[in-house]
Every structure is written in C-alpha cells, then in structure tokens.
Amino acid sequence: MEKYIKKSRLIVLALVMALLLSVYGLTLYRIEALDVRALEDDTQDTVATTVTVSAARGSLLDRNGTLLVSDRTVRDVRISRDQLLKEADPNGTVLKLIRAAERWGVEYTDNFPVTKTAPFEFDAYATSSQRSQLSKYFAYFKNSLESYFEYTVSIDDPDNPGISATQLISWMREHYKIDYTVTAEDARKIIGVRYGLEIQVVAMTADYVFARDIPEELVSYISEQALPSVSISTRSTREYHTDYGAHLLGYVGAMTRAQYDDKYKDLGYPLNSQVGQTGAEAAFEEYLHGTPGSVTTYRDASGAVIDVVENSPALAGDNVYLTIDISLQAATENALATRIAAMNAERIAQAEAETAENERYQEPELAVGGAAVMLDINTGEVLALASYPTFDLSTFYENYSQLANDTANHPLNNRATSGQYNPGSTFKMVTAYAALSNLFISPETIIHDDSEFTEYADAGFAPRCYVYPYSHGDLNVVGALAQSCNFFFYTIGDRIGINRLSAAARLFGFGDHTGIEIGDNVGWVASRELKMELKNEGWWAADTILASIGQGYNEFTPVQLANYVSTIANGGTLNKVTVLRNIVSFDYSDLILKNTPQVKSVIEDTGGYIPVLQRGMRAVATEGTAKSALSNYQVPVAAKTGTVQSANSSMNDGVFVCYAPADDPEIAIAVVVEKGGSGSSLITIARDMMDAYFSGSASRASQSVSTDETLLK
C-alpha cells in the first residue's frame, strides 16, 4: 500500500531549507564582504618597515690561527623620517629619544655644524663633509630662507650664506615647528636630529642612524615606548684582539657615495653599507663582507609590533688568514718605537747638555717616523710590517680628527708601503750588479779610493767619500760593499751610465708595485725621463753619480727594499709580496682559497754575479760597517747600511737592510727611520726583529696553519 507525504509537510520543509540558505548566504556575505573590508581597514592602519640586516663580517687571523679581528653584534636606533612626519608630535618623539640617550650615557648622531649652546656659532672645526652637507641644505631651502628673512639676506653662495648661526636656528625652529616653550638648548638638540634626517633627502646620504651600539637597557626602554617611527636594528661591528698591526689590518667605515657609484652599486651593496677602507679589510672586502639579508617589521597604529618576517637571511662573510705572525709584528713595532724613542731621548739630553755649556738652547731635530718590514725570502710572505707612529684601531673613530690633523707625524700613513725614501748606500748592490753584468768590472777588479771624485771638478762637482780626507785604499767590489766606499761606486756608476743603472734597478723590483694586496707606491727609479717629468730639466753626469749611491732621484718604499734584499738572498727570484695565506668559510669548514707563492720575474744571472753581492753583504756584517753589531750574532747575517743626506734637514735619514741566516736564508728585513741619523743606528731594530724570529721559529713551524689536507678548526 503506497504512503503519501502530506503537502503541508513539503511546504514546511521548503520553508526550513529557504531559511537555512538565507542564513548561509548572510554568513558568506559577512565573510567575503564585511570581514574583508575590516581586514582592509586593519591593513591600512598597519605600518610595514623593511630594514637591511648586515651580514656578520669574517674574521682576520694571523698565520698561526691567532684571532686578530672579529665581529660583535650590536644594536642601533633608527628613525624613519617618513613615519616621524606622520606623528602628531614629532619633536616630542625626538626629544624623548634624546633624553633616553642622555640617561644611559649614549652618544647620539648630531652632525649639525653649529655649537650646541647659546650664543650659537657655526662650528669652526666642522669637517669638509659637514660643510658640504650644510651648503646643500642652504641651496635646497634657499627660497624659504630668503622669504623668512624678507630677502634681507641672499643665499646665492651657499658656502657663505650671509646669515648667522642664531638666525639659522630661528628659521629652523619655525621650519620644524618647535614650540616656543621649548628651551633654546633643547631646541638645538631637536634641530640636530631633524637636520640629520633632512640631510638624507637634501644631500642623498645614507640612512640616518640616531645612535649606535646601544646598551640593553636602552633597547628595552625604546621597545616599551612603541614609537611607530623608531626601530632597533642589529648589525655587526669590529672587535680587536690585538694592539698591533693597525696599518696592515686596516679599518671598516661607512661607504662613501663615490665608492658606491664606482664599485659597490654594481655588487649589490646597500648604500648604508660598512666596507673595508684600508689594509686587509679593504683588500679582502669581497670575502669578508658576506651577503646582507632583510627583515620586515609590521606595526599597528599604536606602534606595537604585530609580526616580524625574515625576507632573506644574512650570510656571514669568510675568514681570512694573513701571513703575518702577530708575535713578530708586536716585536717589530715595539723595536721600532723603542729605538726611535731612545734616539730622541739621546738628542734631547745632548741639547740640554750643550745648553748648560753654551747657555743657549737649540731645539734638536727628532726622528719623526719610520717603518720596518720582514719577508719570507722564498715565498714573498709578509711576516711583519710596521709603520711608526701607529694608532689604536679600537678607538680609531673617537680619535680620528686628532689623527687626521696630525700633520707633523702623519700617523695614518702606512710608511712601510707608501713612504718613499732615498735608499742611500743600500742601493749599492744594484750599482755593483749593473757594473758586473755589463762587464765594466769583474769581481776581482781593483779601484783605489782617491777619497775625492774629481772627474767633473772643472764643472764644480767633486763629491767625496765619507772618510775624506782619508782613504779606503785598494778595493774590489766585495770590499767596496763591506766598507760602503762611495768613491768606488762614483767611479763605476760614471762608467755604466744612468740607462744601465736604471735597468738594473728594475730587475730587483724597483719602480713597480710589489704585488702586496693592501696597496703600495711604485716609488721612483732615477732616469732621464723622470727628471724631465719632475723638473723639466736635462740629465747631468752628476745625477748619475748621485744615483749610483742611492741618492738623487731614487726613492723606494720599505717593502720594495725588503723584496729587493729577498731577491739577492734567494739568488735572483723576485717574488710577489703577499699578506694573504688562505681564506676559509665562516664556520671554518671549507677552504675557499689557498694562496700560493707567485714569482714576478727571475734575474738571468748567467755570470753568477748575485753570489758576489751576497759575499759583499756578508762582509758588511763580518768586517764592514755593521761588524760591531752583527759579527757575533747568533746566526750569520748579510747586511747593508745606508745613510741619506736630506736637503731639508741637517739630520740624515737612516736605512738598513739584511737577510739571515746568510748561509741558508729564510728572512729579509728592511728598516727606515726618518731623521734616523745613519743606517748603523738602526741595526738594533733589525736585531730585535731577528731575535723574535729565531727564538720562536720552532714553535711557529709547529703552529703554522695548514689547509692542504685538512679543514680548519
């Protein structure tokens, strides 16, 4: 029997279904329309700030794995100019930050070149960068400034705007809407920060950083304040584990606009990057720098952080092992500084003694600077490289102005690689080789020292040997090197001529870069062309004679002198000088680059004349000008002293070179001291360097880092 559904029940069921569909439709509408609008409203109130996260910079280590420079993570405070301008009280935010910085003793960035207290004056000690930025600021706001002063001033020349610092402060108070109730001192503080933010736009500088390397207490305070325009960023800064090697290690600093445009823009560096500026930090920047990452922070309208998203991770830079031995570096710097201090103390004491006798004090000429270099003669590796005076890398930026303005001592100059000096008698091995290899003399040729070279006396030029009126007697080339007889080298220099002499100098690396990665000057090799370029004058026989004893137009760097002596010591191989041993990954697990010795050139000594030079240098230490200091040294030494007359001083420069052991060479040394008196007076420095090397050579050999077969650490 069939059952029928009542029509009334179907109607009720249809009504229930319609009701359910209506509820579903309304709910879907709320989800798709109303809630989306709410989400859009929330999004509009959310502020997203993306910042670059700097990568940890790789470390610098010495050849034995001793850590020299590493990275330390620090926090910086940044202000977003765009977000600050949206705030109801931007000046209140700035002043709150300043008060917090002062509370925790944190120095904040204020490069506005006006004194910080009334009466306001333009800063007489402003840097060239500060002056340039202020000039651009004036140019940018020219119309506004002139309108404010009702054209009673003219800003046609931004470098000389015709308004006082007080007038400028008055305009800036109005420009930045600083309330009249704010004191002049606080207004100046606010202006310093607002100006720094404005300069980003006006002068296209890197992002303004309010404060760097802040303590955790200030980090916590700023986070609690939840200021929409203020953020904390993380970066790495250099930490130094040695007091030595400042010139060689170098420093890291903010990239200049020119550096960005010329090089780093194409490499993808952000404009606010910190890059190596000098030394190894600059030479190996591409390995040390790493790859920056980025992080986006989302905040709500109140400034509270909603979310932090890492867009890309920062990848740390590689670690660089240098060729130096930090113990040798320390010994070299200490020896150089100690000897120069002793020289100066002796001269001051002598001047005071003469004053007591003559009742008239005459200021003594003091040694002002110097350099010392030690190379491995077989590889060209730098074992130590010192420049005096030096500086402290850990306080470099705090003391930068003082260091940069020390025009008497030039502590920032790396004299070892960029200082150019007459080599004096240390050049005589070049003259000897030129004469021997061109067959003007043989090793047995005897020349009598007449004490005075009279070949050009009729022309008014008759140079004398330093023993004048006495004589060294009859000498061959080995004896002439041992006694450093000027007459002997005047004679052979005159015979061979400047062209052959210059050519011989270039065989030993003079007039060319050594290849050292931290950069060096090429120096000058005396020649007709050089004199014409420098003085627009022709060449005279007298110029050749002076060049033959290392004076006149010969000027070389200490690192060139050390490599020259290395070339003699190893039998004629001119190596590329290097400070790089190898490069490994940040975690020391992978070898990135192993540096191998490179040869620049080899002297084709078919006549066997380099051994003659070696015998001459050995004779210097056993019977010649360095006998008293080196004849009984613990290992046999080959050496040459040099004394350089200065046209601008009554005190001579001193130059000394050597290699050791003389019978199986390992190291070469060059020492130069400005106003050092004589080469002989510098032997103490070289002895201290050799003491450090030979007393520690066994331990260094066992500790020296190897990456041929195994990974590091």
Q: List, for residues 535-594, the tens digit of each pLDDT value.
A: 999 999 999 999 999 999 999 999 999 999 999 999 999 999 999 999 999 999 999 999
Would the pLDDT of 381 be above 70? yes
More confident residue, 478 or 16: 478
CA neighbor of 697 nearest in space, from 661, 662, 672: 661
Q: Is residue 606 part of a domain?
A: yes
The boundaries of the domain holding residue 576 are: 369-667
Q: Is residue 159 part of a domain?
A: no
More confident residue, 146 or 423: 423
Tell me the CA end-to-end span of the chain in Å, nearest whole number: 93
More confident residue, 47 or 339: 339
Q: Is residue 115 part of a domain?
A: no
Please give, one letter per residue, the 3-state secondary structure of 210-227: EECCCCHHHHHHHHHHCC
Which tokens is 284 given? 């190996």
In this prediction, residue 303 has a pLDDT band, given cuts at 50, 70 and 90, of low
In this prediction, residue 17 has a pLDDT band, given cuts at 50, 70 and 90, of low
Q: Is residue 172 part of a domain?
A: no
Which helix (H) or strand (E) segment holds residue 489: the answer is: helix 486-507
In this prediction, residue 709 has a pLDDT band, given cuts at 50, 70 and 90, of very low
Q: By CB neighbour count within 10 A (0-12 exposed, 13-18 middle, 19+ buried), where does 607 fall?
A: middle
In this prediction, residue 674 has a pLDDT band, given cuts at 50, 70 and 90, of very high
Write out pLDDT tens, residues 444-465: 999 999 999 999 999 999 999 9
Residue 176 CA to residue 197 CA, distance in Å, equals 12
Would the pLDDT of 22 be above 50? yes
Residue 327 CA to residue 700 CA, distance in Å, equals 10
**Could you tell me where the DSSP H helices lie in 164-256?**
165-175, 184-202, 216-225, 246-249
The pTM assigned to this predicted structure is: 0.80
Q: Which residues of 628-661 are buried (b: 16+ CB within 10 A; e: fewer)?
A: ebbeebeebbbbbbbbbeeeeeebbbbbbbbbbb
Would the pLDDT of 5 be above 60? no
In this prediction, residue 3 has a pLDDT band, given cuts at 50, 70 and 90, of very low
Q: Nearest-5° angle of CA 65, CA 238, CA 110?
A: 170
Most confident of 52-61, 112-121, 296-305: 112-121
Q: Which pLDDT score, from 0 to 100, does residue 41 have?
A: 46
In this prediction, residue 257 has a pLDDT band, given cuts at 50, 70 and 90, of confident
CA neighbor of 574 nearest in space, from 563, 583, 582: 563
What is the mean predicted confidence (pLDDT) over 613-620? 98
The region of weakest confidence among 5-9, 265-269, 415-419, 704-708 is: 704-708
What CATH number does the domain containing 432 carry? 3.40.710.10
DSSP state of 590: S
The region of weakest confidence among 262-276, 507-521, 693-707 is: 693-707
Residue 636 CA to residue 647 CA, distance in Å, equals 36
Yes or no: say if 293 and 53 are a contact pair by the CB < 8 Å rule. yes
What is the mean predicted confidence (pLDDT) over 106-113? 95
Q: Which pLDDT score, from 0 to 100, does residue 423 have?
A: 97
Would the pLDDT of 699 be above 50? no
Q: Which pLDDT score, from 0 to 100, does residue 632 have?
A: 94
Q: Which pLDDT score, from 0 to 100, does residue 28 have?
A: 44
Would the pLDDT of 686 be above 50? yes
Would the pLDDT of 236 be above 90? no
Q: Which pLDDT score, from 0 to 100, does residue 101 have?
A: 96
Please give, one letter per residue, the 3-state secondary structure of 60-99: EECCCCCEEEEEEEEEEEEECHHHHHHCCCHHHHHHHHHH
Most confident of 84-88, 228-232, 442-446: 442-446
In this prediction, residue 704 has a pLDDT band, given cuts at 50, 70 and 90, of very low
What is the mean predicted confidence (pLDDT) over 43-58? 75
Q: Which pLDDT score, from 0 to 100, does residue 129 have?
A: 84
Helices 165-175 and 184-202, axial angle in degrees (round to 10): 80
Q: Which pLDDT score, from 0 to 100, does residue 603 have?
A: 98
* Number of CB atoms found within 10 A of residue 601's CB: 16
% of residues, the chain, pLDDT over 90: 71
Q: Is residue 544 part of a domain?
A: yes
Q: Which pLDDT score, from 0 to 100, does residue 198 have?
A: 94
Write out pLDDT tens, residues 411-426: 999 999 999 999 999 9
The region of weakest confidence among 73-82, 427-436, 524-533 is: 73-82
In this prediction, residue 45 has a pLDDT band, given cuts at 50, 70 and 90, of low
Q: Which pLDDT score, from 0 to 100, does residue 25 have?
A: 54
Write out pLDDT tens, residues 425-442: 999 999 999 999 999 999
Q: Which pLDDT score, from 0 to 100, does residue 292 have?
A: 81
Residues 6+ apart with CB under 8 A from 511: 502, 505, 522, 523, 524, 525
Write out pLDDT tens, residues 326-374: 999 999 999 999 999 999 999 999 888 888 777 777 888 999 999 999 9
Does residue 523 come out as left (phi exceeding 0), alpha (psi in the -120 to 50 range) or beta? left
In this prediction, residue 697 has a pLDDT band, given cuts at 50, 70 and 90, of low
Q: Is residue 523 part of a domain?
A: yes
Q: Is residue 170 part of a domain?
A: no
Q: Which pLDDT score, from 0 to 100, does residue 696 have?
A: 77
Would the pLDDT of 598 be above 90? yes
More confident residue, 297 or 437: 437
Would the pLDDT of 137 be above 90? yes
Mean pLDDT of the chain: 89
What is the mean predicted confidence (pLDDT) over 498-506? 98
Q: Which pLDDT score, from 0 to 100, does residue 8 have?
A: 55
Q: Which pLDDT score, from 0 to 100, does residue 160 have?
A: 77
Q: Is residue 478 part of a domain?
A: yes
In this prediction, residue 401 has a pLDDT band, given cuts at 50, 70 and 90, of confident
Cis peptide before 119 (omega within 30 of 0): yes
More confident residue, 38 or 128: 128
Domain count, the chain: 1
Yes or no: say if 339 and 682 are a contact pair by the CB < 8 Å rule. yes
